[in-house]
Amino acid sequence: MLLIQVAAFWMVIAPAQTKRVNQPPVIPKTWDDKAMNTLEIPLANPVGSPKAVPAAYYYQIPLRPIYKQYPVYAPDREPAGYMDRLKQLEPIILWDGGVRHPKLDTEEDFVKAGSLVFEASVFFNGDVGPVFNLSDVRNKTWWRKSGMPVNSKGIMPFMFYVVREKGKVELGTFSCAMCHTRIMSDGKVVNGAQGNIPFGAALAQSSPVPPPLNRALYSVPWLHPDPIEEVVTMNDREQRQLSAAIPAGVNARHRTSLVNPVQIPDLIGVKQRRYLDRTGLQPQNAPVDFMRYVAMNQGGDSLSSFGGFVPVGLNFKTPPDPTDSITVGGRYSDEELYALTQYVYSLKPPPNPNKPSRLTLRGKQLFVSEGCARCHSLPSYSNNRLTPTVGFDVPSDHRFKYDIMKTSVGTDSGLTMKTRRGTGYYKVPSLRGLWYRSMFGHSGWCANLEDWFDPRRLEPDYVPTGFRPNGNKPFPVLGHAYGLDLSADDRKALISFLKTL
Ligand code: HEC
Ligand code: HEC
């Protein structure tokens, strides 16, 4: 009887599996007008909630060709004659989004091809303006002062050399790999892990960011005063200091701010997350939502109207011509976005060296007895719910639409109340992979878990060990007091358990 059941089970499952591996997938449409305008949770002040450009506009944006790229070495590790050899090379397009593409016959081909999109540079040399140039990576002082790490081969895996025209070598930047690649302490590189490029320190060594770009990235025009005013009125030296205060693992990404930057998430395991971003900005119910997230974040949302403010619009008002490649940049085809999604979903964490022991077992018991599992529940150690920040009145319809807890964990409200990613919520983050991550709390104030669970962080004279919003001046890291009243021994046990996840 059992044998028959097993045989019947295989008859059902086997053809399905063969089909899944050997046939090309059905590619969902990324930019659908209705979906794009209901994609995100409304902002804390809904007047600023973005209205996306229409699909007719989006699909006129030219596709970005994906070129073959070459590694960037630390100055003393570069092979002799390397740049001269690159100058002899013909440009090679690996994927133009259309007829020229890597093998795409099966789901597995898509996963493989997705790694090309993950590493593909979006900006070249200095064409976004001043954010990282070829001259930076050719400059020893830039390397030294930014503390830029390299892997065991002397390669910096965050940026690439690109040949788009024979004889001209450019620096390619702003690929997913730039912020979502981690060099581990043994020099191994883990794609998709929380990135550890010292972005802020490197930027502080590059050319100044012009005020219109800063405004496009960070302005919140419906707030009075607009938080960007504080930044654009600073002199160059003050702006560089602010940028350098943002440590590796944290980023003042567009729609956040230099005073409310955000911890870079680990993308390994992202498929299990029901909300993307620390503020829970975008629900993720299907792979197409990931594709839409990327389309938005790689240029799409800068064309949206945030209550009349269009970040890259003419006079911050009207979206530019979709074919204006300097301002709009480009887009990926739906196939490329699908491949990227499957690639990121396929990423696995590195092997965890922290094995269970008597200490971690005690930590596990404390995790349960302290009530951590109420929010950080299995399998991903997140219940995938949102918590309202202090002082945010949850609109009544939100309780039906989103998965919101009653409890507020009481952390700083700046990121979710004063930025264009701010929804009024913070999601319960996953605790998987804590052992290789750093910079805890949504703006990364605590460099490691020991500091996150140090009760002294609540004191008014505390100076954060990660991101320091006030320079070297004190800044108590408030909220999420769970586990802070444990004895030193119990805290050690709890942390050792957390490092096994
Ligand atoms: C300039 C740095 C940077 C680049 C480039 C970048 N990201 Fe991110 N990414 C971030 C930061 C910072 C966050 C956190 C945003 C937040 O929480 O509000 C983030 C968040 C995400 C999230 C949400 C995950 C979660 O659990 O909340 C996804 C998915 C993601 N990025 C994918 C990508 C992909 C795919 C690419 C390339 C197409 C990319 N990112 C390029 C910095 C970057
Ligand atoms: C009521 C829900 C809740 C409880 C209970 C809770 N947490 Fe959290 N936890 C959160 C939220 C929400 C955040 C993110 C806060 C933020 O972004 O400001 C968080 C953040 C964290 C972080 C930092 C992760 C990161 O990436 O920044 C760790 C570590 C953590 N919690 C561990 C624990 C442990 C251990 C316990 C029990 C001692 C616990 N939490 C209890 C909701 C909770």
Give tens-digit pLDDT for 60-72.
999 999 999 999 9
Structure-block tokens of residue 87: 């100058």
Pocket of ligand 2 (CB under 6 A): 263, 278, 367, 370-372, 374-376, 387, 407, 409, 411, 426, 428-429, 431, 434, 440-442, 452, 480, 482-483, 494
Q: Nearest to residue 277, comparing CAs of 398, 423, 396?
A: 423
pLDDT band at 209 (very low <50, low <70, confident <90, very high): confident
**Cβ-based burial of 59 (10 A; exposed 0-12, middle 13-18, buried ≥19):** middle
Q: How far apart are CA 61 and CA 323, in angstroms?
A: 5
Residue 428 Cα to ligand 2 midpoint, Å, equals 6
Report, as an integer, the average pLDDT of 236-258: 93
Structural contact between residues 281 and 462, judged by C-beta atoms closer than 8 angstroms: no
Q: Report whether residue 457 contacts ligand 1, using a CB cutoff of 6 Å.
A: no
pLDDT tens profile 423-476: 999 999 999 999 999 999 999 999 999 999 999 999 999 999 999 988 888 999
pLDDT at residue number 14:
41
Residue 441 Cα to ligand 2 midpoint, Å, equals 8
pLDDT over 90 at 276, yes or no: yes
pLDDT tens profile 318-329: 999 999 887 888
pLDDT at residue number 128:
52
* Ligand 2 mutation target, pool 270, 383, 428, 454, most atoms within 8 A of CB: 428
> Could you tell me how far CA 238 lies from the centroid of its own chain?
26
Residue type, 117: V
Find where tokens 């807890």 sit. 405
**H-assigned helices in 59-98:** 82-87
Report, as an integer, the average pLDDT of 101-124: 94
Residue 464 Cα to ligand 2 midpoint, Å, equals 18
pLDDT band at 129 (very low <50, low <70, confident <90, very high): low
The protein residue whose alpha carbon is closest to atom 16 in ligand 2 is 442
pLDDT at residue number 49:
96
Query: What DSSP string describes 37-77?
Result: HTSSPPPSSGGG-EEPPPHHHHTTSPBPPEE-EEEEEPGGG
pLDDT tens profile 166-208: 999 999 999 999 999 999 999 999 999 999 999 999 999 988 8
Q: How far apart are CA 186 and CA 360, in angstroms?
A: 24
Q: Report whether residue 364 contacts ligand 1, using a CB cutoff of 6 Å.
A: no
Structural contact between residues 228 and 219, judged by C-beta atoms closer than 8 angstroms: yes
pLDDT tens profile 344-401: 999 999 999 999 999 999 999 999 999 999 999 999 999 999 999 999 999 999 999 9
Give the single-character DSSP code of 100.
Answer: S
pLDDT over 70 at 18, yes or no: no
pLDDT at residue number 404:
97
Q: Nearest to residue 249, comparing CAs of 193, 176, 190?
A: 193
Q: Report whether residue 278 contacts ligand 1, using a CB cutoff of 6 Å.
A: yes
Q: Which residues contact 429 (CB under 8 A, 6 or more apart)?
A: 265, 278, 382
Domain residue ranges of the chain, discontinuous segments joined by +:
33-346, 358-384+428-498
Beta bridge mates, 69? 162
In angstroms, the Cα distances linking 446 to 343, 427, 459 are 31, 18, 14
The protein residue whose alpha carbon is closest to atom 42 in ligand 2 is 428
Structural contact between residues 386 and 275, judged by C-beta atoms closer than 8 angstroms: yes
Q: Report whether residue 202 contacts ligand 1, using a CB cutoff of 6 Å.
A: no
Residue 264 Cα to ligand 1 midpoint, Å, equals 7
Give the single-character DSSP code of 485.
Answer: T
Residue 278 Cα to ligand 1 midpoint, Å, equals 11
Nearest ligand (C-alpha, residue 387):
2
pLDDT at residue number 23:
74
Q: Report whether residue 273 contacts ligand 1, using a CB cutoff of 6 Å.
A: yes
pLDDT over 90 at 80, yes or no: yes
Nearest ligand (C-alpha, residue 297):
1
Q: Report whether residue 264 contacts ligand 1, using a CB cutoff of 6 Å.
A: yes
Q: How far apart are CA 416 and CA 41, in angstroms?
A: 12
Which 3 state secondary structure label does DSSP give 343?
Answer: helix
Report, as an integer, the average pLDDT of 294-306: 96
Residue 427 Cα to ligand 2 midpoint, Å, equals 9
Which 3 state secondary structure label does DSSP give 7?
Answer: helix
pLDDT at residue number 126:
57
Q: Report whether residue 176 contacts ligand 1, using a CB cutoff of 6 Å.
A: yes
How open is the CA angle 283-286-291, to the nearest 5 degrees? Answer: 80
Beta strands in 25-80 (DSSP E): 50-51, 66-67, 69-73
Nearest ligand (C-alpha, residue 494):
2
CATH architecture observed for domain 358-384+428-498: Orthogonal Bundle (1.10)
- Residue 440 CB neighbour total at 10 angstroms: 23
pLDDT over 50 at 12, yes or no: no
pLDDT over 90 at 36, yes or no: yes
Enter the pTM of the model: 0.94
The protein residue whose alpha carbon is closest to atom 38 in ligand 1 is 176
Q: Nearest to residue 388, comparing CAs of 402, 374, 373?
A: 402
Residue 480 Cα to ligand 2 midpoint, Å, equals 6
